[in-house]
Amino acid sequence: MNYLEQKIAPRREERLGSCIEFGGTVDEIHKQFCGCCLKNKRRAFSQGTICQLLPATAILTSLQDCVVIVHGAIGCGGAVHSQGASVRVGQFNAGDKNPKGALWLSTNLTESDVVSGGEEKLKHAIIEADKRYRPSAIIVLSTCIPGIIGDDIDGVADALKDQVSATLLPIHCEGFKTKIMATAYDAIFHSFLRNMIDGKDETEFRIYDNDISTTAEKLRRSRLVNLLNVSSMTGADQKELTRLLNKLGLEVNMLPCDAHPDAFRLAPFAALSIGVCPTHDDYFMTYLEQKFGVPFVGGQMPIGIENTSIWLRQIAAKLGLTEAAERIIKSETDELNRALEPLLPPLRGKTAMLSAGEIRTLATAVLLQELGMEIVAVRPYHYDKFGVAEIEKLEKINPKIRINVATAQPFEAVNLIYRIKPDVYIGHNSDNVWAAKCGVSILPIYGTNSIYNGYAGVYDVARRLKRHLKNPSFNEHLAKHVRQPYKENWYSENPFKYILGGE
């Protein structure tokens, strides 16, 4: 089915059968998912979590030369208050001495707008944003209110497209529409594919009439690859993957995060698209191939030694660079293994629990296992077919590793932690504090200007884990003096008690 013909990208529940409720072991989820028994569960107790607007603002406010208009109440988009800090750091690292951070506008929908509609206000905001900031693109994010009252953001964008100089990108991320926040990634790419990426060769990457420059450009494009980054990657992560691809002789067109809209316009002319996380990039790469014939490799996250090597081999195979890739893999892993040796003794046999996005969690678990640690539980934010390959790897290590599919839901995590008492918790921003209050050492699973991807990421993760285990006293003290909000009997209950079967 060609989803691009529709205004709105499908929900992940429909497209991929994704689920966010499960408690059991990795062999159980493997069996059940293949039997399609995971659908339509729900929780009788749930905690506030992340809707698709959050990953949308995280990615889109990082774009260069763009303005994001959050069409909603004044609080929607508030997450940019912290997301914008990383945007600012990125701009500073890119050389801006007085970085402005993320730029977003709110249409500030009020009681009267709920009654009479918000389209006029949105029009006004788009026209003003175009005049005031002169951006390359204006991104309009639809939230719950317009989703309920029926504001037609696509219609508004269509009506204004000849009046403004910016490219208009209406994106649907109403929070109530899907339980799978990763639907946001499809929603974003859906709009870019429909409204911006047209395959017209007319900006700086024009092929000139001149024979020599045409040949030069063709040569460049034969080595040009789209690298699909994710918002949980740091600048250091991007550098590491670029380093590896450069070693293969490839030139990198990085998108979507931190990219200029021109990177999207250039994408149809690349020789290959390279994914780092199927949760993020399969929709885009699939359509880029269908519409413009750009082949892709995806499905493998380059986190962990073996995972990074698989990732490089897949890329090399597509471009006929296998021999070069093997040389690179050998020299990199030899050096890495030598460097890792002194770091490993304090990590050996230590138990770890992980929690974050689907692929990130499972791939990082494989990395920790390579460092000699024992994986006791994984908590992916959702689960679908893309997780199967990673689950199979974990099942081989130990089929009885506990798995809890939940978008945060710390009450389940805390119950599990009390049971299995891991030495380290490697979790998502905002998850970590609940494990910290149990006295467990924490390594954040992404961010903080550190590096997680590629071979350098393996070394850095090992180095940082060693540091955390050296003095865990901050969280140990914390656990003695603050309490979790749950009643005492919760810890003797089944942690998955509140997950109810299908309806």
- Which residues, 6+ apart, have CB-to-CB distance to 470 below 8 Å? 346
Q: 155 to 184, contacts with another protein by CB under 8 A?
A: 175-177, 179, 181
Q: Cα(228)–Cα(249) distance, rounded to whole angstroms?
A: 18
**Dihedrals phi, psi of 302, to nearest 5 degrees:** -80, 60
Sign of CA dihedral 483, 485, 486, 491: negative
Q: Which of 418, 491, 496, 498 binds another protein (CB under 8 A)?
A: 498
387 binds another protein, rule: CB under 8 A: no
Pairing mode, strands 499-500 and 42-43: antiparallel
Long-range pairs of 150-153 with CB within 8 A, sequence gap ≥ 24: 150/117, 151/71, 151/117, 151/118, 151/119, 151/122, 152/119, 153/71, 153/122
- Provide the terminal-to-terminal Cα distance of the chain, rounded to the nearest Å: 27
CB-wise, 55 or 457, nearer to another protein?
Answer: 55
48 touches another protein by CB under 8 A: yes
- Does position 190 bind another protein by CB under 8 A? no
CB neighbour list of residue 96: distance below 8 Å, 6 or more residues apart: none
User: Binding of another protein at residue 79 (CB under 8 A)?
Assistant: yes
**With contacts defined by CB under 8 A, how many residues of the chain interact with another protein?**
76
Alpha helices in 379-443 (DSSP H): 388-397, 410-420, 432-436
Choice between 143 and 229, CB closer to another protein? 143
Judged by CB, which is closer to another protein: 76, or 252? Answer: 76
Residue 264 vs 381, nearer CB to another protein: 381
For residue 115, the minimal CB distance to another protein (Å) is: 5
Build a one-symbol-per-residue string for 389-418: x at contacts with another protein by CB under 8 A, - elsewhere: ------------------xxxxx-------
Q: Is 299 in the site for another protein (CB under 8 A)?
A: no
Contact between 94 and another protein by CB under 8 A: the answer reads no
Residue 107 binds to another protein (criterion: CB under 8 A): yes
Asked if residue 492 binds another protein (CB under 8 A), the reply is no
Q: Which residue in the set 132, 161, 421, 477 belongs to the binding site for another protein (CB under 8 A)?
A: 132
The structure tokens listed for 191 are: 């709009």
Structure tokens at 379: 């908590």
CB of 134 to another protein, least distance (A): 12
Residue pair 169/195 in contact by the 8 Å Cβ criterion: yes
Binding of residue 502 to another protein (CB under 8 A): no
The reply to whether 345 sits near another protein by the rule CB under 8 A is no
Binding mask 108-127 for another protein (x = CB under 8 A): xxxxxxxx-----x--xx--
